[in-house]
Amino acid sequence: MFKIALVAHDEKKAEMIEFAKKHKDILSQCDLTATGTTGKLVRQHTGLLVTALLSGPIGGDQQIGSLVATQMLDMIIFLRDPLTAQAHEPDISALLRVCDVHNIPLATNRQSAEILMTHVKLCLEGGENHADCTS
């Protein structure tokens, strides 16, 4: 089972809900974790089972980073708002860095998230014997 984290800045939360609805059939087969508000919204609008951690600005990004560092996540979908300054930017940078350190796929926009979902779908449809399937 793929372990996926969902994170979205305030201006991208509606887009994350749309993304989760579109990929509900795939995401329902995954172990989902999210930062606080994102997790609650995805759960509320899709019915998906999502473990919601703290909100990003109060430690949720760091909690996600900890899951990466302890190999408890396979990938992250992080819909970032590149046009708005974030008060917790150091936490965001640390999350990006820990993903690079531990070679964890990280989608930071909708198109890269779509590519990761294509990969997950192929693996779930029987490609788990393929070398690139991590689940």
Residues annotated as catalytic (active site), given as ranges? 61
Task: Give the other-Cβ count within 10 Å of 133's Cβ.
Answer: 16
Are the beta carbons of 36 and 44 closer than 8 angstroms?
no
Q: Which residues contact 14 (CB under 8 A, 6 or more apart)?
A: none
User: What DSSP designation does 2 have?
Assistant: -
Residue in 49, 44, 36, 51 with CA at minimum distance from that of residue 17: 44
- What single letter denotes the amino acid at residue 134? T
Q: Which two tokens stand for residue 26?
A: 């795939």
CA atoms within 13 Å, Cβ hemisphere of 42: 31
